[in-house]
Amino acid sequence: MKSISKIGIMGSLLLFVASCDFLEVETVGRTTMPNFFSDVPGLKAGLSGSYSKMYSYYSSEFYKYPEVAGNMVDLNVVSADVEMIDQYNFTSDPQQEVGAVGYIWRKILEALANVNNVLEYAPPLKDAYPNQKAEIERVQAQALFLRALCHFDLYRTYAQPYNYTADASHPGVPVLLVTPGPDDLPSRATAKQVFDQIIKDLQEAEGLFGDRPMQDAYHVSKEAVWALLGRVYLYKGDWDNAILYATKTMEAVPLARGDDYLAMYHGLTAGKEAIFRLNGTLKSKSLGIFFSSGKPMVHAADTLMSLYTDPEDIRLQLFATDDSNEQKITTKYRIKTDYTPEQERYDPFILRVSEMYLNRAEAYLKKGDAPRAAGDLKALLARALGKDVSEVRIDYANNGELLHLIKRERAKELCFEGHNFFDIVRMNDHLVRGEGTGSNVAFLPYPNDLFVLPIPQSELNANTNMQGNPTVNN
């Protein structure tokens, strides 16, 4: 695997070449890239390439990691070579270049390199094509969002949570705003610096979008910027801004109900409550194979299925039974409408409105406003049970019990969508798996060095400024 600087060069050139020697790619790229980005169609093509690279990591190890490392799924352990086994058992190796450790690092950095090239070449085009300024700014806004998301996802995987130190001075991940050169040796910024840059990019994107309406859920919009800002502020512990941006999003995009809710997963449409999804047309079907195939790699753990206490819960319709062992399988990645093999695809959710209700409920509670937190929780439960909010009752004796209910609802609503382990870590919870877990690890206390992946050893070898993670890189 290549270091950050070489990934920067290689990732930038994926738009131009299919395969060739590294030195040939570097030579071709130096002359080709300025020509490629010399007009607005080229810039938009570069943005399309960036979306494609984002799909590459969301459709693979990055989306699977927080599920198998969490406590709501069981991995079908049939051999030591099974996919994600090291993450399930917390034995990730920094030498693991073919697998989660190396692939997540590399794929996110390749996406980041593509996005940074779009952002580098966009400003001069506004001077060259002033009549297309608005269109160029819309491209910039999308690219800024994607850059923020890349940094955020890299951070969640390889760095301890924002509140790990009181002043967020612990190591985060490199902040890359330009494509690194072959002699550049980026180092890890602090957690605070990483989050500051993420927020800065998102705020700039919000301004560039202006009053433009949402195009569709497969393209970044101002609503997507609001939703990601709300999530980032939640991870940071900035409850006021988490509430502000969750509210903005909830006012703009409705919850999906009834058949519309199920159609988000079983159909071939984005869904009424989708804010941002990645389009998997003619791309990898890895998520469907891993989670929802006839012989999936994971099953829903008893810890998850025991949370669905009401048989009328619509989310139970998103599970099927594995005939071979009677265990439950998610069908969130199983298309049930009529389609041709060419149409079949799996579109991972990045942001949807249900999460915003949960985010705001948690932020309200952290601010001491239990009634409003309970109100958001009731709204989701009402949708799940096909009832009016006034018909839903939740019982809690104190804020701790209400927080427990919010966590339960997050697990039920967001399962198999890449949240579980990240939620455990950011909430500073212990990892507690069920008695029936097939993992070698049933419990890990917080804080814990194992709660992050190691920095790939090839990166440490190539970059003397890069710092590894304690224990996992030793």
Q: Alpha carbon 366 to chain centroid distance?
A: 23
pLDDT of res. 180: 85
Helix count and strand count (H, E) for the chain? 18, 8
- 390 residue type, one letter: S
Full set of structural domains in the chain with CATH: 1-135+162-191+430-465 (1.25.40), 259-415 (1.25.40)
Angle of helix 61-68 versus helix 40-58 axis, rounded to 10 = 30
The burial class, CB within 10 Å (0-12 / 13-18 / 19+), for 242 is buried
Mean pLDDT (the chain, rounded): 92
Mean pLDDT over 460-466 rounds to 96
Strands (E), 236-327: 274-277, 298-300, 319-321
Q: Tokens 């070489």 label which residue? A: 6
pLDDT of res. 43: 97
The values of phi and psi at residue 35, to 5°, are -70, -40
pLDDT of res. 183: 87
Give the DSSP H or E segment for 352: strand 349-352
pLDDT of res. 29: 45
Query: pTM, whole model, 2 decimals?
Result: 0.95
CA dist., res. 8 & res. 226, Å (int): 28
Number of C-alpha atoms within 13 angstroms, CB side, residue 258? 4
- Is pLDDT of 11 > 60? no
Mean pLDDT over 131-138 rounds to 97
- Is pLDDT of 276 > 60? yes
- Is pLDDT of 30 > 60? no
Share of the chain above pLDDT 70, in %: 93
Mean pLDDT over 320-327 rounds to 88
Give the CA distances from residue 232 to residues 133, 196, 331, 363, 436, in Å, rounded to whole numbers and listed in that order. 29, 10, 28, 12, 34
Taking a C-beta distance cutoff of 8 angstroms, is the pair 169, 77 a contact? no
Least confident of 13-22, 194-203, 249-258: 13-22
pLDDT of res. 5: 59
